[in-house]
Amino acid sequence: MSLGRSVPGDAREERARVLPKDMMTAKEASAYLSMDEATVTRMAAERRIPSMEVDGVWVFSKKSIDKWRRQQEQRDVGA
C-alpha cells in the first residue's frame, strides 16, 4: 500500500520519491493557482509563497497554499 504518489525525478535519480497527498509539484501548484510554472518556482525561490525544496525540487502544501491565498485576499481587501 502506498501512502503517497510518485514524483518524476531527473535521470540521475533512480529511487522513487513520494509526496503526501496534500503536497503538490510546481507544475500542479501552478495549475492550482492558475499561474505560470516559472512564476511559481521563482516565488518559491524568493520565499514569497509557502514551499519546501526536497532533493532540489520545489514542493507545495495545498493546505499552506490555501492559507496563503486567504491571507493575500485579506491583505488586498484591507489595502
Question: Could you report the per-residue pLDDT of 20-77, keeping only the tens digit for each?
Answer: 788 999 999 999 999 999 999 999 999 999 999 998 999 999 999 999 999 999 888 8
**Fold of the CATH domain 21-78:** Multidrug-efflux Transporter Regulator; Chain: A; Domain 2 (1.10.1660)
CB 13 within 8 A of CB 23: no
47: phi > 0 → left, psi -120 to 50 → alpha, else beta; which? Answer: left
* pLDDT at position 10 over 60: no
**Residue 11: predicted pLDDT:** 43
Cα–Cα distance between 30 and 14 in angstroms, integer? 26
Question: Please, which pLDDT band fits residue 6 given cuts at 50, 70 and 90?
Answer: low
**For position 78, what pLDDT does the model report?**
77
